[in-house]
Chain A
Amino acid sequence: MICLHNEKELLKNVAEGNQASFGIIYEAYHDALCQFVQKYVKATDLASDLVQDVFAHIWVKRVDLPAVDSFGAYIFTSVRNHTLNFLKKASRENTLKAAILHNYQPAVGNADYHLLASEYRQFIQDILNTLPPQTRTVFQLCREEGMSYDEAASHLGISRNAVKKHMVRSLKLFREKLHSDPHSALLLLLFFIKS
């Protein structure tokens, strides 16, 4: 659906290692992908990390690009799967869960819970009743005590994945570089993949 008018050609160039073409594709898809992911992971930096991972992966596997039938579908599917896997992981790791919850801003007008079908509310309540009380810990730390997820993480005795943290900082650098100097931006990106 997203068609750069010369996308096929750009992808062919990327496959041949053309960084400027990769930059054009990156710019065209990046923001929409981040917005898509952010709906599920809530935090801007997490969304940006996840999208970046996928772009990095695509660059590494660039020789396969000409065989891709629809790049839009390909990258959205990759990003979806990566986000799904991240969410599954987050559901089991308090640190990541805290990172999400800390950035969870209830939408304006979300006080409609009581208006939902009673069957749905009963369904939620039934599951809630089966949960042990300590699962609420992270929620309380992040949302009630106003702790950042780093704080909550250290409070819970878990340190945040250092590589991830490194990524977040470096990605800003990557985006800036991409405009001024695509060549070294790509080197940076490759560096992250290896690290």
Chain B
Amino acid sequence: MEENSPYYKELIRRYRDSKATEEELEVFFHLLSEGTINQELEDVMNEDMPGEERTVHRIPFYKLTAVRVAAAVLLILATAGGYWLSKKRRESPLLSDNKPLIKHDLPPGGNKAILELADGSSIVLDSASNGTLSRQGATEISKKDGMLAYNQAGKKQGEILFNTIKTPRGGQYQLKLADGTKVWLNAASSLRFPAAFSGNVRKVELTGEAYFEVAKNAKMPFIVQEGGMSVQVLGTHFNVNGYDDEDAVRTTLLEGSVKVSKGGASVMLKPGEQTSVSHTSQLSQPIPVQTDEVMAWKNGLFYFNGENIAVIMRQLARWYDFDVTYEKPVKEKFYVKINRNTNVSNVFKILETTGGAHFKIEGKKITVMP
């Protein structure tokens, strides 16, 4: 191997990842024009390619690159929609020895939730039939498929009646509040809200994760409270993720503007930005994030862009409702997009194609191995 190969590859990868400085770009094109780095360029490009075409002597190489392979495949999976990855080819060395050990597979979550009314009674939403469910004061509550709608009839200023909707692990639900605000509630989450809004603010309390499309009302700011933090908006789209087992409450803005406050401090977010507040610390400065990654859950996807296994397993556990144990630490980072509407074994199959992790499924007990 050419002595400078490692430098060449570093340069090519930095070019590929758009990290190269102007000077590096110049050197890159210069070397390319001299024909110096053809082999290295081919090698680096192979890192992005599926594993099948590799011959046996190159196997160690794709161990390093399988992550990107999986990413490429999954992007196709996501776009190809109806076509299933399903039957893997027998001859594929990557897949033949990478089957999750399955005793009892777990189906994906679905539209499941429990609604608690102001009088303490509760309605199981997945079994309730479509149509009008109940009344809370002047508000009629109706259900259609996976969505609950509150329709405020008059402007009666009676007592404020609070309702709470709770999704279990493996559940999600959509809800339209009395002011027209739409809320998508992710698994293992809850939202406490008034059946009708009155006064100068619209205040709701969240645990877990939800995405809000707040109906505009400049006179009545909408406030989401979660774990001592509050998000104040007039009318906008944003996501709040504050599960207890995550290290921080993260607010991500998609449209409009929001003010996130904790204690005396507050920050304003611009679209595409995220701020986080950990249980012990102050609000972070806004950072730009990939919103399609944050919003994947609402769009029926898992989207892991360089996540470690612990982050991934926490998300999966909420959707498939399982407990996880780690046999040994897994170092691999994962770059995948997976449809949420599939059995857990399919998700693990895809994660296993990276070669960096293996899974054993025994009912609700999942074991992770390197």
Contacts and interface: CB of A to CB of B under 8 A. Distances in A.
Contact of B27 (A80, A90, A128): A128
A94 B93 CA distance: 42
A27 B83 CA distance: 11
B217 interface: no
Interface in A50-73: 70, 72-73
Given A3-B89, A39-B48, A73-B50, A120 B10 contact: yes
Given A5-B83, A80-B42, A107 B53 contact: no
Interface in B25-73: 25-27, 29-33, 35, 38, 41-42, 45-46, 48-53, 69, 72-73
Given A39-B16, A88-B32, A110-B19, A72 B50 contact: yes
A124 interface: yes
Contacts of A108: 288
B86 interface: yes
B16 A40 contact: yes
Contact of B52 (A70, A91, A124, A139): A70
Nearest to B15: A40
A90 B33 CA distance: 8
A92 interface: yes
Contact of A104 (B25, B38, B76, B94): B25
Contacts of A27: 79-80
Interface of chain A: mostly helix, strand, loop or mixed: helix
Interface of chain B: mostly helix, strand, loop or mixed: helix
A1 interface: yes
Interface residues of B, number: 53
Contact of A2 (B29, B48, B50): B50
B72 A28 contact: no
B4 interface: yes
Given A28-B76, A120-B10, A131 B48 contact: no
Contacts of B51: 1
Contacts of B45: 40, 80, 83-84
A113 B23 CA distance: 11
A1 B42 contact: no
Given A3-B87, A31-B79, A131 B19 contact: no
Interface in B186-230: none
A192 interface: no
B2 to A, nearest CB: 13
A72 B69 CA distance: 12
Nearest to B353: A1
A124 B53 CA distance: 33
B24 interface: yes
A110 B75 contact: no
Contacts of B50: 1-2, 72-73, 76
Interface residues of A, number: 53
A77 B95 CA distance: 20
Nearest to B17: A107
A123 interface: yes
Given A107-B17, A124-B24, A5 B84 contact: yes
A106 B30 CA distance: 19
B49 A97 contact: no
B294 to A, nearest CB: 15
A158 B76 CA distance: 38
Given A32-B76, A39-B48, A120-B7, A131 B30 contact: yes
Interface string A1-31: 1111100000000000000000010011101
B38 A88 contact: yes
B18 interface: yes
B79 A104 contact: no
Contacts of B46: 80
30 contacts: A1-B92, A2-B76, A2-B85, A3-B87, A3-B88, A3-B89, A4-B80, A4-B83, A24-B83, A28-B80, A29-B76, A32-B76, A32-B79, A35-B75, A36-B48, A36-B72, A39-B48, A73-B49, A76-B53, A77-B49, A83-B45, A84-B38, A84-B41, A84-B45, A87-B41, A106-B21, A119-B7, A124-B11, A131-B27, A135-B30
The 6 closest A-B pairs by CB, nearest first: A73-B53, A91-B32, A1-B50, A91-B33, A32-B76, A107-B18
Given A31-B79, A106-B19, 7 more contacts: A28-B76, A28-B83, A70-B53, A76-B49, A84-B41, A131-B27, A131-B30
